[in-house]
Amino acid sequence: MTRLPLQSTRFNGLQQLIGKQLLGWVTSGWLQKSLGLISLLGGAYLAANITSIYLNFVHLQSLGALGMLILVEIMVRLRTRLAGTDPGLLWTVLDNFRIGAVYALVLEGFKLGS
């Protein structure tokens, strides 16, 4: 027995949009998933190394954190202006890289605070 198609209402459109945003990673291909994970881990690794270099050699922790904050903010501004509603693979990789870098910076801040 086949299901009848749903009517094109605003509520149905909202349900489809939420389902696509929450479960979109399930239907994406292996290339997008693997590049997203690699960029997430790469961003965390690079940010952790940059902060450790600043802590050991330069002793300017606040300057290093400010530089990373400015870089992340520039990436956010560029993404909102240049990427549309359906970002491509490059924007997904850059977003995951940015999220990994911010995670590593916050983790480093908690390590320094304790």
pLDDT per residue over 16-73, tens digit each?
888 777 777 666 778 888 888 899 999 999 888 887 777 677 666 667 777 778 888 8
CA 44, 76, 96 angle in degrees (round to 5)?
30
Residue 37 falls inside a structural domain: yes
For the stretch 74-98, pLDDT in tens is 988 888 888 777 778 888 888 899 9
Residue 102 falls inside a structural domain: yes
The pLDDT, as a whole number, for residue 63 is 72
Residue 36 falls inside a structural domain: yes
The pLDDT, as a whole number, for residue 114 is 60
Contact present, 36 and 90 (Cβ < 8 Å): no
Residue type, 100: G
Domain count for the chain, please give it.
1
The pLDDT, as a whole number, for residue 109 is 79
Range(s) of the domain holding residue 87: 29-113
* pTM of the complete model: 0.69
The pLDDT, as a whole number, for residue 39 is 93
Residue 59 falls inside a structural domain: yes
The DSSP secondary structure of 70-112, one letter per residue, reads HHHHHHHHHHHHH--SS--HHHHHHHHHHHHHHHHHHHHHHHH
The pLDDT, as a whole number, for residue 67 is 78
Residue 87 falls inside a structural domain: yes
The pLDDT, as a whole number, for residue 45 is 93
Residues in the chain: 114
Residue 98 falls inside a structural domain: yes
Residue 80 falls inside a structural domain: yes
Residue 11 falls inside a structural domain: no
